[in-house]
Structure 1
Amino acid sequence: MNQDEQGDFFNTLNDKVDAHGALVDRFHAELQNFSKQIAGCDKLVRMAHISLNQIDARIAEAVRIEAGAAAERDAVAREAARAASGAAEAAVAGLLGQLHAATREAEQVCQAVHRSRGQTGLWIVAYVVTTLLMCLLTAYASFKLHPDTPVPPEVAGYAEQGRKHEALLQKASDKERKLIAEIQARRARPAK
């Protein structure tokens, strides 16, 4: 490989490393967005708790008004009791409507959080795969540029360990191979 080809190769490698850095920055931005969505969900849940407390206070007020109205014996008192009861029901119905709306918003935020988790998982997988590919590309480039360089002892140890594992796999029985395939299939399945 002449110097021009080496220069082009390293320029391409630098471009890929820069693209990898941009991918990492994008992953961090997605993670910050995910944190903001969780904070928004927490705020909606607090609002729902406040609405529930308001409903309890209104119900208690309605019960008090109804108890006072029951003690009155004349028609004017009964009419006042009916008006108070109707106002309390309307207030409770209004607050229940607000609670349902807040619950729907909280569910939408939770769904968005779950989608963000999935997207974040995909970014992590893409990041790991890209990192591994860059490592392999770097190793391949290093080997092609300097094929006479001796292999480091730890790499030679890993290669020897790989050869031993391959030899063990070749000696494995059909039952053992089936068990290994089942374990690999379980690892390949996504977590629920």
Structure 2
Amino acid sequence: MRCGSSGSTTSTAESSSVEGRVPSTGASLSRSLISVTACDSARSALQVSHRSSLPVFTIGVMRISIASDSLDGVAPILASEIEKRGHTVIPHGAVTDERADWAWCCSRAAEDVASGAADQAVVCCWTGTGASIAANKVPGVRAALCVDAATAAGARRWNDANVLAISLRLTSAPLLAEILDAWFAGSPSSEEGDQANIAYLSEMEN
């Protein structure tokens, strides 16, 4: 049995004798209706499968503060990758004329988030560790060092992370794209337990 482009279904055996003949029983009509429904369901499944394979991006423009202590690895393309996703960039560190040491530039980007000058930040150093440590010293900042897309998605969902830390040593250009897509597509969990954890972090800072 095959699905025709018009949505009707006809078996090979039936096609030669169906012309000029009206189904004489309700069973024949029921079989036809079931066949049409099955083909429509198959088309819908294929359409959903196709949509799910497309890239997912966040809706809306955000201000993203970025910082790197060097121009190694993906640092030179970080701003353009973020802008490609529709967001605006506030640069710090080696990508500008500011002081590029990781403690200075990464904390500066994190301060943009804490003050409201930026919605989120992406901070980089060779391992990503120093960048995340510096950012997390700023009250209100939850920086997460992410080495893959799954970690980035989890950081946004379960930790409501607002600063993404990147390792320039480990992150290739294709991997950076995957991490950014997952990060920007993510949103905080609405589960009571997850929200309680975030609230407790704020209590610890006061």
Q: TM-score normalised to the size of structure 1?
A: 0.29
> TM-score, length-normalised on structure 2?
0.27
In our comparison, the structure showing a higher alpha carbon Rg is 1
The structure with higher relative contact order (CA 8 Å, sep 6+) is: 1
Structure with more strand by fraction = 2
Q: Which of the pair is proportionally richer in helix?
A: 1
